[in-house]
Amino acid sequence: MSESKWSAEEVDEIKERILTALEMVIDPELGIDIVNLGLIYEIEFDPETGDTVVKMTLTTMGCPLADILTESIHDALKEVPEVTKAEVKLVWYPAWTTDKMSRYARIALGIR
């Protein structure tokens, strides 16, 4: 087995930077970023290739913003030099609820 380019700690740090980049992606309807809305379920980063998969959901299944958000995610991930290829996978389970939102998003939207 070949050695990874990065240590486990470095991979965790790269994933944190990916998450930070995703905080720049704002849901146009709600005006809150997709991370604080709780739409990001998982980030897979391959330390060998730099391939990155973002598993996320949308607030509703028929959300018309899927393409806009996906494009914005691709743009945001260009800011993370270790990401060589990005893929966005929409998942519907578990279903999104307002419970997934951060405290910040709940306060900003007036949800208790």
- Whether 1 shows a pLDDT value over 50: the answer reads no
CA distance 65 to 47: 30
Higher per-residue confidence, 4 vs 55: 55
**Average predicted confidence (pLDDT) for the chain:** 92
Residue 39: name the closest of 94, 104, 107, 108 by CA. Answer: 94
User: Can you tell me the mean pLDDT for 45-56?
Assistant: 95
- Locate 49 and state its tokens: 């290739």
- Whether 69 shows a pLDDT value over 90: the answer reads yes
pLDDT on residue 59: 87
Q: Is 57 exposed, middle or buried (0-12, 13-18, 19+ CB in 10 A)?
A: buried
pTM for this prediction: 0.90
pLDDT on residue 89: 96
pLDDT on residue 45: 96
